[in-house]
Structures are given as C-alpha cells and as structure tokens.
Structure 1
Amino acid sequence: MRKEKDISDDQLEHIIDALEDQQPVTDKETQDMAELLLHAGECCSSGMFDADSAWQSFKHKANNKRRRIYVAWSAVAAAILLLFVYRSVVYWTDDLLPLTLFTAVDGQNNIVLNYGNENTVIIVDSCIDLTSAKNDKHIKYSIQTPVGKNVHVLLPDSSMIQLNAKSSLTYQLSAVSGQRNVTLDGEGYFDVKRDTLHPFIIQTRGVKAKVLGTSFNIRNYEREQLHITLVKGSLALEDSSNSQKIMKPGEDAELLINGDLLIKETKVENSVLWTQGYFVFDNIPLSEMMAEIGRWYNLNIKATNKEVTTRHIHFRCHRSLSIDTIVDILNEVGYFKLERKDNTIFIK
C-alpha cells in the first residue's frame, strides 16, 4: 500500500533535467542538487517515492530529447535509481511479510516413547512409567510431546519429570561413570531422586546442570532465552566456558546472548504453574507469550505490527479456555490487536 503521496512531478522533472544538463554546474547548483537528492532519498525511505515511474519518465525524456548526459551524472543517476529500487524493495518486503512467531505442526498428535537398541516406538496417551523398566546403561530413552499436550514421566531411577507441549527429553545411564545423563529441548519440571553415587546431569543449550536431589524448572524453547528456575535443593550450573555457579531456591538463571549465566531472585510459582494447567506470563515479551499460545493451541502466529511484539505482558489464565476467549481478553489490553483467520492469529 502506498503512503500519503509520491514525490511531485516538478521535483522529478527537476532531478531529470539536472542529470541531463550538458553544461557544467556551479557550486551553488551542486549544493541545490545535493539537497534535492537528499529530499528524494527521504521520500524513498518513507515509501513516498515511486521508483518505477521515475525510471520510465527518465527513459522517455532521454529518448525524446536525444541529449547526451555527462558520464558523471549518468553514474549518479544510476546510483540514485538503484538506491530507490533497493530501498523500495526493503520497504515493501518489510511491510508485506509478517514476522512468524510460531508455525502450526501437521501430523503427529501423540506422546511418543522411543527406547532400546531396536528403537522400539510406543504411542502414549497420558503418562509414562519407566520405574519397572531396567535401568540399563545400554538403553537410551527418548520422549517427545506434541503441541497441545504435556506428560508425566517416571524414569527408571524414580525421578519425576513433567514435559510441556512440543518438548523432547532423552535419558541414559553413562556406561563409564554411571551418572544419569539427560538432554532437554522445550520445557520440563524436574523432581530428581537423590543418588549421590549417580549424579543427575542435564545438558541443554550449552549449559550443564548437575543435580543430586532437587526440584527445578527448565525452559529451553527455540527463539527464547534459556531459563532454569530452582524450587528447592541446589543446582551447580556450568556454561560453555566451563564457568560454574551455584543456584539457591527461589533463583532463576538466564542464559544471556554472550553465553554468560545471569542468576537473580524470581517468583518461583510463575515458572511452575504451567504444571497445574495455567498460562502464566509475568512481564515477558508479547512475542514469547503468543508463541506459547500457538504451541498449545497449534496455531500459526504472525505479527504484522512488529513493534508491539517487544512489549512486556502480565497475563494469567487457565489452558482450558477456548482460543477465541483468550483472543477477546487480550484484545482488551488496547495497544495491540489480535485477529484470528482460520488457523492463524495475526498481531496488529
């Protein structure tokens, strides 16, 4: 969609006449030309300049007059027109293509357990109990949850894990040390069985958490900051540079962009209420909140107003609410608009 107005015909005529002029230009004329070109550039960057029209007009006049253009001014003209075209492409692309925050998933809608040397796959309805399974060093367990579902997992060592929607976890005893090795993508709440002889080690996005017996939450979704929240016990964290930090209950560790871990006090209940069926968004960007909603209801989330996606939100509701009800509630906030079309929610 075009903005308020294009550059005027007189201004366009002035630019083309100057570029076609065979006579040398004075310093004053050069300064005037620079100011005019600067104005044209501003028009272009704001979406007011029609590069197509300018080029067609330029060609038409050049053919009619059959006038020779100085090489220097030809280069300037070409550079300016290329700048107009480039800026117009960037402008229109940014304006027309929405930012995708979450993409709905087709197909698999079941919780999947994968284990054993033969990669046996079991489709699970609600929970996974592996306490009767053999805690064998040669068996690797893998669990995946789809969008819109979470699952309770009892590991062979009796540790309990609750996995949130669209998450995956692997568990295996080390063949050498006997330590319990876990990897996590997505979100999980852990209540780890204490065993001093077999430390519980979690690897997630370059961070290693060493556990003896403790309860904590890890959130590690794509495009979001990694957060580890300690409920009780203690955690020894190690980042990619092998720097170690000890967490205390009531603290949250956030992985910064530079790879460092920032530990600070937090409201623990806000991080774990999802295990009781709630959405809890406490001062987080709208982009993360809407991605979470998309993950639960399996909806495409797109933003046509990118500025509002960085605003921080305080919002809490039960996951049993319909998506239309949640959209209506959020639209009462006032500074953004959600619009649902079929399987897509647009942020405007």
Structure 2
Amino acid sequence: MKFEKEEDRLNFVIELLNHPELLQEVRVQEWLAESRNKELYEECRRYLEGGLRLAVGDQLDVEGEYWNFTRKMKSGGRSRRMTWLSVAAAVVILISASWWLLENSLSSKKQEVIPVAEHIAPGRNQAVLITESGEELVLGASGSESRELGEGVSVEYDSLRGINYKLTERAVVSYHTLRVPKGAEYKLTLNDGTIVWLNSESELRYPTSFAGESREVFLKGEGYFSVAHDEQHPFIVVSSDIYTKVYGTEFNVRSYEEEDVHVTLVQGRVSVKKTEDGSEYTLNPGENARFVESVPEITKVNVNRYIAWKDGYFYYENESLESIMDDLKRWYGFDVVYVGNKARDYRFELWASRDSEISVITDLLMKTNRVGIKVNGKTLVVSEVIR
C-alpha cells in the first residue's frame, strides 16, 4: 500500500488504532514492516495512551498539554467548559508543523467493544454532614439551603459553593464530620476561611469554630487544602498518625487505607511528621512526602499527579494500570477483576476529564492494544491483549 499524501497515511494509522483487528491482515503487517510506517503507528499509539496532543517529531509534553487545556477551559463559563470537556480525552493529531485541531476527533469513531453499562456514571457533588449529636444532613448534587445545626451555628450549602459556616456570638463550638462516599466529591469552607476539597471515599472531622493555639482537623482519604493564613495559629491536618502543619498555603494529603500516605505541597511551606512527638521534616513547593516508615521519602514531583482531581481531571504519568483503576473505581463506583497477572502492572500516561463517561477512558486504554476491558454489570473485567 502506498499513500501519495501524508494525511492519507495518517488517516490509515488512525483506522488501524480504531480497528486493531486489521493488524492481523498480511497487507497491514507488510505495511508496518517499513520503519517509517511503524514509527508513525507507535507515535500515534503512545498519544492515544495519554489522551494528549502529539506533534509528529516532537517530544510528548504531558504537563504542558495539561496546563494548556486547563487554562483554556478555565477562561470561559460553563458552556465553554463543556465544549472543551467534550474533547478532553479525545485524540487530536498534528498534520502540519503548526497546532491544528481536527474538527472530528477520534472519539467520534467508535471501536467495536462491549458497551459500558449506563449506570456506571461519573461522580458528582454529594456528601453527608454529621453533627456531634449524630444528626445527619444529606447534601445532594443540586439545590441550595440554609440550616441551623446547634445553637448559633448555621450552614449554607449548594452543589457549586459547597458548605459555608455562619456563627453568632452565642455559638457553641462542636465537632462536625463531612463524609464523602464513593463516586462523589465535595467542597467545604471552614469558619476561619480555609477551603477544603474532599475526594471520593473521604472524611473530614473539624470544629465549627477554631479555638486555642492551633487549628486542627482530622482527615481520612484525600483532601486538598487552601489554608487561610494565620501566623499565630498553625493549621494542622492529622491523617493516619501523620501530622501536617502549615500557617497558610496550598497542599494535598492522600491517606487511603492500604496505601502509603502522601503529602504534596503546591505553594507555601509545610512541615510533616509521623506521630505527634516525631521529628519534623520541611517540604518546599513541588515536593511530595511519602510515608512508609517514620522517616518520609521526600522527592520533587509533578504535582499534577496529586492535585488534578481537584480541578476535575485524572492525570497520570507512567502509572500502573492497577493504580489508575483504583482511582477510577472510587469515582465511578465500579469493581475491577483482573484476568492474568500482567495487565495490572502495565504503565500508562493518561489524562481525562472526571466528567467523561467511563467508556471514553476505557476506549483510550484499549486503543493502546495492550489491554482488553469488558463490562459485567458494575464490574470491569481487565485482561492483557495476547499478541
């Protein structure tokens, strides 16, 4: 097979990636035996693996493309956001030396796979607020309300602004717990002005008003904190016996059961320690502290891996499929079964909107021709592709 135009050669590769069964044909195997054709195929396959733009001949810039996309999305309102989200995990290929978006991305070309069940849907804004007396207030994905919860303590909440506290002089301080289930997220503004984003399967216990020398809260799961500055009253997050102390900064704490604890600093400065009486270790912006033992492993990281969820994205660089699936199943509420031992260890680069249907993400993973994903009710069956 010969193509007169480079565009035709590229379209043929796109066809192969969308219909991997064509790889079994002799004519296709002969075409891929030519080094330049094989190189183009592998470049496009790697692009699909990341769901990112790939400039032919240029190096894949995962971080740069992520920030380009988020800047464009944040520059407009809801309608513009949804326009960009519609191509968040789609394939955009460069045909010339300049950046040109194809009007019809590869996401419109459906691969013939078993359809994903409709009830596996993206997560939403949802939580349960529990008072010290045990009263529970279900916070749904829509609507706006104001409730009085205890003497002099009232909360306003809606799906966009989350929870905001208002206290009068006669307010009696008590502890509240915000619990976010699987397949949900929620935002909370504490009485001191600190904003907390809670990820799926997470819980935060906090006082309705801070008193004393420090501002202390207790986290299970994952939370992103934008702390109101107060030099005289440090803000302390206690999670799995890890103490993170700040005076005013932005950072992420990830502390799920059966996982190592990660504290990631975005800006400002924090100190971390194992147990209340342990030695303190200072983090600088862009550093991550991973706790396995009492002494943390502190490394320079791409913070997007740890904070993209707060801005509405999944973001992974050289991440194992099992780790990716662990995050996806928290957000979409499904279970995962692996067939064989290899697939869970395959590593991928991927970014996609958390508003995407799960089929968009599974299609991207399958288009790499490395894994197969089938649906059985609310369970994804993941297997390696035998070549």
Q: How would you bin the TM-score normalised by the shorter chain?
A: 0.5 to 0.7
TM-score (norm 1): 0.63
Deviations, residues 101-150 of structure 1 (Å, cap 9, x unaligned): xxx9xxxx94111124x223211132433331369674112101122221
CA deviations over 1:47-77 (Å, ceiling 9, x no partner): xxxxxxxxxxxxxxxxxxxxxxxxxxxxxxx
TM-score, normalisation: structure 2: 0.57
1:133 aligned to which of 149, 154, 167: 167
Does structure 1 retain, via aligned residues, the 8 Å contact 2:176–2:208? Answer: no
- The answer for unaligned runs of 5 or more in structure 2 is 1-119, 141-158
- Secondary structure, in 3 states, of the residue corresponding to 2:318? strand
1:123 and 2:157 are equivalent in the alignment: no
CA contact (8 A) 1:167 1:187 kept: yes
* Contact 2:314/2:351, CA 8 A, preserved across alignment: yes
**Aligned residues between the structures:** 239
Higher deviation after alignment, 330-339 or 213-222: 330-339
The yes-or-no answer on 1:252 pairing with 2:267 is no
What does residue 49 of structure 2 align with? none
**Which residue number in structure 2 is paired with residue 6 of structure 1?**
none
C-alpha change, 1:176 and 1:273, in structure 2 (3 Å) is closer
State the identity %: 28
Q: What's 2:45 paired with?
A: none
Closer/same/farther in 2, CA of residues 137 and 233 from structure 1, 3 Å limit? farther
Give the structure 1 partner of residue 332 of structure 2.
Answer: 297
Please point out which of 309, 314, 318 is paired with 1:274.
Answer: 309
Residue of structure 1 aligned with 2:130, choices 114, 129, 135:
114
Q: Which amino acid aligns with 1:115?
A: T
Q: Give the conservation status (yes or no) of the 8 Å contact 2:129–2:178.
A: yes
Q: Distance in 2 between matches of 1:301 and 1:123?
A: 28
Q: Is the aligned partner of 1:198 residue 2:213?
A: no
Contact kept? 2:288, 2:298, Cα under 8 Å: yes
- Runs (4 or more) in structure 1 with deviation over 3 Å come to 133-138, 173-178
1:217 aligns with 2:252: yes
Q: Structure 1 CA distance, aligned partners of 2:274 and 2:208?
A: 22
Separation in 1, partners of 2:371, 2:315: 19
The reply on whether 1:165 has 2:200 as its aligned counterpart is yes
Whether 1:183 aligns to 2:257 is no
Partners in 1 of 2:356 and 2:363 — Cα distance? 11
Q: Which residue of 1 is the match for residue 243 of structure 2?
A: 208
Q: What's the secondary structure of 2:165's corresponding residue?
A: coil
Query: Contact conserved, 1:173 with 1:181, CA < 8 A, in 2?
Result: no
Structure possessing the higher radius of gyration over alpha carbons:
1
Instruction: Judge which range, 133-142 or 289-298, deviates more.
Output: 133-142
Partner SS, residue 131 of structure 1: strand
Q: Which has the higher helix share?
A: 1
Checking the alignment, whether the CA contact within 8 Å between 2:336 and 2:380 is kept in structure 1 is: yes
Q: Which residue of 1 aligns with 2:109?
A: none
Quote the RMSD (CA, aligned, Å). 2.4
Asked whether the equivalents of residues 173 and 180 of structure 1 are also in contact (C-alpha less than 8 Å), the reply is no
- Measure, in 1, the Cα distance between the counterparts of 2:334 and 2:238: 29
| Residues 228 and 254, structure 1, Cα contact 8 Å, conserved in 2 | yes
One-letter amino acid of the structure 1 residue matched with residue 206 of structure 2 = Y
Deviation at residue 223 of structure 1 after TM alignment: 2.6
Superposed, 1:313-328 pairs within 5 Å as 313-328=348-363
